[in-house]
Amino acid sequence: MTGPVAAPRGDDDPYLWLEDVEGEAALEWVAERNAETAAELAADPDFPALKERLREVLDASDRIPYTARRGAFLYNFWRDGTHVRGVWRRTTLERYRKDAPEWETVLDLDALAAAEDEKWVWAGARVRHPEHDRALVCLSRDGGDAVVVREFDLATRAFVDDGFQVGEAKTRIGWIDADTVFVGTDVGPGSLTDSGYPRTVRRWRRGTPLEAAEPVFEADTSDVAASGWRDTTPGFERDFVARSLDFHRSETYVLGADDTLVRIAVPDDADAYVHRRHLIVTLKSDWLGRRAGSLLAFDFDAFLAGDRTAAVLFAPDERTALAGHAWTRHHLILETMRDVSTRIEVLTPNPGGTWARSPLTDVPELSAVSVVDTDPDHSDEYFLDVSGFLQPSTLYRGVIGGDTEILKQAPARFDATGLTVAQFFATSPDGTRVPYFVIGPDRTATGPGPALLYGYGGFEVSLTPYYGGVKGRAWLERGGTYVIANIRGGGEYGPDWHQAALGAHRPRAFEDFAAVASDLVARGITTPAMLGASGGSNGGLLMGAMLTRHPELFGAIVAQVPLLDMLRFHRLLAGASWIAEYGNPDDEADRPHLRAISPYHQLAEDRAYPPVLLMTSTRDDRVHPGHARKTAARLRELGHEVLLHENTGGGHAGAGDNEQAAHNDALVHTFLRQRLMRGNREEPGRAM
């Protein structure tokens, strides 16, 4: 190729035709790219065996079947080699305690898919509370975010013929009582926001047409979404509605009997909800003299009357952040992170407004603990999962103030002999200390080796320790080191850590990730030629930034369901909902920095890039597959090495069943092994 190739400029983009998701020309082009990727990766001699080993992990019958209590039953959704699309099932606690519990099938998705000739993917169920007799089952066609909703009878285990049913849309729905629901969905022009989510909340009564359902609340078209729900806690029944102003700000109202609205006057960037007599508020900015990241409790009725007396349930410091919390009948279980390792304790409200606290359990260093389920209406029961990078999950059940038992223990899925776990800190260019985890062989003894660096860095998402059987078999067992970077944009150190990389400051996340990559090399863990990077969704944007800003640091890059065109993301599917995270391309104040961080617009012919694998899904109705398609086309045009694999189903997860998931993971790790683990390694960026 001779002469410079101009970067696309917004709507004059020559690859806009690849944004036509189901367009004939676009799908033909995708099929050609898929064939190239299959010839390169799926035809690798090691691919079939690797895929089979990964499928074994995903289908294993001795996985822990995590449950949610709904009345007397523990419910679980399960997929394996026999139940490809999955089965919704239930059991009792006594049966669950057995090594091989007896399950009662509630809904068999494989049978339903076969009967209706539809690739149904489970998208959850809203069980009516406190009766636990009916459910609003959500089903996705091949993994998209849009769902169909059908009422289901849990006693007869059958769909209700004349029950509530909603056609395919990004619906929000929940029970009010036996014959009424709150629903927000697509009912025609004006019913959706610019982001494609419900703009209205309607009260829908059984036996009436959905279109005739009574509107009780409306958001603006520029808002992300509207929602409504009933708190059905006995003795504390209340209705609420809310509008999401953007991804990080919202307003919540109490909906009165005559549909009057009383706003719960907390900062619009705070997370707030009502539980029994408490208003619980998680701060994202300073308020009432309390720091961002604090967890506050108010008396709800007193708050509505103007009283701002708050109990501080958690206050952050420079190394500690809130990770989550969950209620039992009489207590609050509080999860916190100190340098990304989890701690857990119990808080108990006292009549005078004070709260007592005590530890719940000890957690090993560099491990994670999470509350799987509680019973906030009837008991102080809790289910707790504890795991680590080399420590398979253990599921505990306990009663606060009572006994604790081990219910389930997952077996090891990979050989961890000789592997270690460590946490290090890299220094970003502005002096910020960035933590990262390293899992793999002791490189001080073996010298540098292949490594894979993973990151996300957005939307206040925290990357905490976990046991990954697929990653263990596909990468760690085969001699690789796995690294997780806790960069800014995430939530590892609370709201400030997230906000430090918002909007025009997004490059801080990129600088943090590059600093970790450089630190790995400086410590002798790996070399640029043996270092790969991977990330998905917002993490796919991070991968695009590494490709265009720091190609010299990596030997290969994998971007899954990625966000890459930052000048058009707001016009594609749910993209408008992320303007608060990145900025608005239609705003002249934001457009320069968005162009600067847009990987699609920063690709150049005269730069040396490491080989790239782009993964997406035709059915991804969150991050448009056009991001990956157009970037692959642009890289090809400029003469760079790129592979694209687009799964026809799977939605934003990229896979709708274990077969697809194993195939995708095998493609990724075959690509990484080919580029990073070969004996005669070439310099990163050289076309091969």
Residues 6+ apart with CB under 8 A from 680: none
CA distances in angstroms from 11 to 7, 64, 528, 585, 587, listed in the order given: 12, 49, 36, 12, 15
Name the token pair of 9: 């400029």
Task: Spot the catalytic one: 140, 537, 598, 617.
Answer: 537
What element of type H or E holds 111?
helix 109-116
The C-alpha atoms of residue 389 and residue 62 are separated, in whole angstroms, by 19
Q: What single letter denotes the amino acid at residue 454?
A: Y
Half-sphere exposure of 226 (CA within 13 A, CB side): 24
Q: Please state the three-class secondary structure of 553-600 as a single string.
A: HCCEEEEECCCCCCCCHHHCHHHHHHHHHHCCCCCCCCHHHHHHHCHH
Q: How far apart are CA 676 and CA 481, in angstroms?
A: 11
| d(C-alpha 487, C-alpha 433), whole Å | 9
**Ordered DSSP codes for 241-302:** EEEESSSS-EEEEEE-TTS-EEE--S-TTSEEEEETTEEEEE-SS-BTTB-TT-EEEEEHHH
Tokens of 137: 């089952």
What tokens were used for 645? 């694999």
The encoded tokens of residue 551 equal 């190609």
Q: Which of 498, 652, 663, 669 is flagged as catalytic? A: 652
Exposure on the CB side of residue 617, measured as CA atoms within 13 A: 25
DSSP-derived secondary structure for 310-334: -EEEE---SSEEEEEEEE-SS-EEE
Is 330 a residue of the active site?
no
Which residues are 22's β-sheet partners? none
Q: CA–CA separation, 679 vs 319, rounded Å?
A: 41
Helix 47-59 / helix 658-676 crossing angle, nearest 10 deg? 140
Do you know the residue count of the chain?
Answer: 688
Q: How far is CA 335 from CA 122, 343, 344, in A?
A: 29, 6, 5
Instruction: Output phi, psi for 127, to 5 deg.
Output: -85, 135
Tokens standing for 125? 């169920």
* Dihedral in degrees, nearest 10, Cα atoms 487, 516, 485, 532: 130
| 652 is known as an active-site residue | yes
The radius of gyration of the chain's CA atoms, rounded to the nearest angstrom, is 25
Q: Are 452 and 440 in contact (CB under 8 A)?
A: no
- Give the C-alpha distances (Å, rounded to integers) separating 363 from 315, 384, 493, 567: 20, 11, 19, 44
The Cα 226–Cα 183 span in angstroms is 10
* CB atoms inside a 10 Å sphere around CB 16: 14
| Catalytic site positions | 537, 652
